[in-house]
Structure 1
């Protein structure tokens, strides 16, 4: 039987000895990301920005530093995998087109969606975000991989490059 203290609003995890303890925020965020990634991979496909945003807003929850992810897709836009390609500082992450191309080819992706977070809470794409997207789109077009979108996530909000006509 659970102790009364375990019936609070906190979520608990069991350690290797079978004892329960309060789960840390990082454990909760990691478990949520894992669960959502499995759920999105079972979906029929990503047909609009809101499909990707549903997962990606949760993925970036709790991030205090900027991170850049690649959502790898097959020919029917079903998720092959989601890769965190870069983690940086509070206001930037270094993304290298060569590394993105290598990753896309190794997963045999037909299309990709990029996303990164803005810990500032403002989802508006910067000029650096636009230049990076253009460089990545140009590099991937050489190997016949389409860039479907780039989402900038800030808290529960997001901006879609494709919806804004930036792709």
Structure 2
């Protein structure tokens, strides 16, 4: 029995509506999220086009922000997504993430909160738990390294000044910048954030290592304690 097709394939679309041709002609910025994803997965299934399958994948993720969080196994739960397509999608997302955070630490000079946001935003905005990191700087405000201090629960991180300054002393840091994320997407500091920051600043003053700022990363937004007058 011949299978009856109930969808239009990409090849059957007018050329100007095909994702790849559309991107070549008008540029990537004129192509929708589903069309970009369809270009990556290349083919659909017997029952749906690559665009329809891409739309289903985006629907499963609920938002573009959540797409990188889907595992290969979760992608494969969708009809039409096998191991090969799942790996293709994850590889493309990982490449994008690495490109966004590809600035060499040794060449990076921090002169403003925006520099910190540009450096860590794309990496930290997708975390589903609170990650507390510290950027270690030399006397010229160049990054020595970025260290992960703790991983907390959904809405709180646990950090102690000794964990921060032990690594800062070991790497001969002149100053530090504290950075953590809010999985909710709202970077507004909590009372706990403010109290912890005060304790860390006091400890730094005693040791002789300056806390330049505390940055909270949200969904495409950030909060700087220095800009907010809290430091």
Q: TM-score, normalised by structure 1?
A: 0.81
Q: Give the superposition deviation at 1:158.
A: 0.3
Asked if the contact 1:123/1:154 (under 8 Å) is kept, the reply is yes
Q: Is 1:36 aligned to 2:105, yes or no? A: no
Moved more, 53-62 or 87-96: 53-62
3-state SS of the aligned residue for 2:135?
strand
Match of 1:134 among 173, 192, 198: 198
Asked if the contact 1:40/1:55 (under 8 Å) is kept, the reply is no
- Which stretches in structure 2 are left out of the alignment for 5+ residues? 1-37, 42-83
Greater fraction helix: 2
Moved over 4 A (4+): none
- Flag the 1:36–1:142 CA change in 2: closer, same or farther, 3 A: same
Larger Rg: 2
Higher relative contact order (CA 8 A, sep 6+): 1
- Flag the 1:75–1:34 CA change in 2: closer, same or farther, 3 A: farther
> What is the root-mean-square deviation of aligned Cα atoms in Å?
2.6
Greater fraction strand: 1
- Which stretches in structure 1 are left out of the alignment for 5+ residues? 1-6, 11-18
Task: Give distance in 2, aligned partners of 1:101 and 1:72.
Answer: 10
Asked if the contact 2:134/2:149 (under 8 Å) is kept, the reply is yes
Task: Give distance in 1, aligned partners of 2:97 and 2:131.
Answer: 17
Asked if the contact 1:33/1:58 (under 8 Å) is kept, the reply is no
Asked if the contact 1:67/1:117 (under 8 Å) is kept, the reply is yes
Pairing of 1:1-167 with structure 2 (within 5 A)? 8-9=39-40, 21-22=87-88, 24=90, 28=94, 32=97, 36=101, 38-43=103-108, 45-167=109-231
Task: Give distance in 2, aligned partners of 1:140 and 1:37.
Answer: 30
Asked if the contact 1:115/1:151 (under 8 Å) is kept, the reply is yes
Task: Give distance in 2, aligned partners of 1:33 and 1:89.
Answer: 25
Task: Give distance in 1, aligned partners of 2:123 and 2:102.
Answer: 9
Task: Give distance in 2, aligned partners of 1:34 and 1:93.
Answer: 27
3-state SS of the aligned residue for 1:8?
helix
Task: Give distance in 2, aligned partners of 1:72 and 1:89.
Answer: 24
- Flag the 1:35–1:114 CA change in 2: closer, same or farther, 3 A: same
Task: Give distance in 1, aligned partners of 2:99 and 2:146.
Answer: 10
Task: Give distance in 1, aligned partners of 2:160 and 2:99.
Answer: 25
* Deviations 1:48-106 (CA, angstroms, capped at 9, x unpaired): 11111111211203211111000000001000000111111110111011111111101
